[in-house]
Amino acid sequence: MPTTQADPLAINFCGLHFATPLVLLSGCVGFGEEYTRVAGFSNRDVGAVCLKGTTLAPRLGNKPHRVYETPQGMLNAIGLQNPGTDYVVQSILPQLDFSETRFIANVSGSTVEEYIEVTRRFDDSPIDAIEINISCPNVKEGGVAFGNDPDMSARVVAACRAVTKKPLITKLSPNQTDIAENARRCIEAGTDAFAVINTLMGMAIDAESRTPVIGNVQGGLSGPAIKPIALLKVHQVYQVSKAHKIPIIGQGGVASAEDALEFLIAGASAIGVGTTLFYDPLICPKINAGIRDYLHRHKLSSVTQLTGTLQLPDTGPLCGS
Ligand SMILES: Cc1cc2nc3c(=O)[nH]c(=O)nc-3n(C[C@H](O)[C@H](O)[C@H](O)COP(=O)(O)O)c2cc1C
């Protein structure tokens, strides 16, 4: 479907028409059907929906507790519970209404071979795009172990690139020293886009029992608490990706139109909404309305005009206090 230029919220993302720049994030919307049961919710309010992380074989996930609320956020260690790639492709995808939005698979694995096989099977399916999750902090092998090592990240991206022509989105880990260098390597390896950022590793402790709250000991921190970190990572990745016209789905704690606008200005072309859906499943129409209002007030005809418009002061390199 061609992008409707008349709608200021519509974007072209790696050749795909997104009705709005919002993307529902992996692990926060099941397999795309979960919120469709909520009165007033519609997948038409977003440009795309990322399905839960999928591995080759089914996984039961980690032992409880798997989630824990923290100030302005939450820890999760689900452990990639999913029914396996064949079930997702054969039984879930046929139930999804592709006329409502774009659907993105989220590919995970413990070995490069597993990433290749899962990607190959999604390539042979109606899925619109493939996101490779090399940044999951909640599994013992693969995941963030790959995503924090630029060599391994590039290997996984190149291997998946070789088996699909669908848009390939690489989801980067914030738990690494130099995210921009990793992004550069992933661009060389053939990624079409980035998702920035996945969760940050954290933990919670029960002082009375002196035990970790999360069954997996550590979990991934998400929600508004991580937004300042996510904004900086998007800004850093954008410095590398803009020359290659590689778009970014900025994410991490988005809970309002103002948050979404900040991510766009930092360099994102689309904005992910995840944890916020757990307490406000109807947040997306409100964010869309807020972005529309901002565009109108600033006399902009398209949301694409905002990407990377951050005005930096002339004060030399970025540093902390
Ligand atoms: C309960 C839960 C499960 C998640 N599962 C996945 C997953 O399977 N694959 C993935 O790439 N990211 C997963 N994530 C990370 C989110 O997609 C998102 O990148 C992160 O939570 C930051 O966005 P947010 O602060 O808006 O939630 C999960 C997050 C949560 C909270």
Report the nearest-CA residue for atom 21 of ligand 1. Answer: 222
Q: Which atom of ligand 1 is nearest to the CA of 222?
A: 25
Q: Are 206 and 215 in contact (CB under 8 A)?
A: no
Query: Among this protein's residues, is 160 annotated catalytic?
Result: no
Q: Which residue has the tokens 């993302």?
A: 13
**How many Å apart are CA 111 and CA 228, to the nearest integer?**
32
> Cα of 109 to ligand 1 centre, how many Å?
16
The tens digit of pLDDT for each residue in 99-126 reads 999 999 999 999 999 999 999 999 999 9
Q: Is residue 28 in contact with ligand 1, taking CB distance under 6 Å?
A: yes
Q: pLDDT-based confidence at 140, cuts 50/70/90?
A: low
Q: According to the model, what pLDDT value does residue 4 have?
A: 46
Q: In the chain, what is the straight-line distance between the N-terminal and C-terminal CA atoms, in Å?
A: 48
According to DSSP, the residues that pair with 270 across neighbouring strands are: 249
> Cα of 300 to ligand 1 centre, how many Å?
31
DSSP string, 69-88: EETTEEEE-----B--HHHI
**How many Å apart are CA 124 and CA 219, to the nearest integer?**
33
CA–CA–CA angle 319, 185, 182 (5° rounding) = 35
Mean pLDDT of all residues in 45-59:
98
**How many Å apart are CA 319 and CA 321, to the nearest integer?**
7
Report the nearest-CA residue for atom 26 of ligand 1. Answer: 274
Task: Check pLDDT > 90 for residue 137.
Answer: no
Mean pLDDT of all residues in 57-80:
97
Q: pLDDT-based confidence at 314, cuts 50/70/90?
A: confident
**How many Å apart are CA 265 and CA 268, to the nearest integer?**
7
Question: Could you tell me which of 71, 319, 113, 108 has the C-alpha nearest to residue 204?
Answer: 71
Give backbone dihedrals phi and psi of 241, rounded to 5 degrees, phi first.
-80, -25
Q: pLDDT-based confidence at 34, cuts 50/70/90?
A: confident
Q: Is residue 252 in contact with ligand 1, taking CB distance under 6 Å?
A: yes
Report the nearest-CA residue for atom 12 of ligand 1. Answer: 26
Q: Which atom of ligand 1 is nearest to the CA of 272?
A: 26
Alpha helices in the chain (DSSP H): 85-87, 112-123, 144-147, 150-161, 179-188, 227-241, 257-266, 276-279, 283-297
Mean pLDDT of all residues in 177-191:
97
The tens digit of pLDDT for each residue in 249-306 reads 999 999 999 999 999 999 999 999 999 999 999 999 999 999 999 999 999 999 999 9
Q: Which of 26, 138, 273, 277 has most ligand 1 atoms within 8 Å of its beta carbon, as the pocket-test mutant?
A: 26
Q: Which of 28, 136, 160, 284 is catalytic?
A: 136
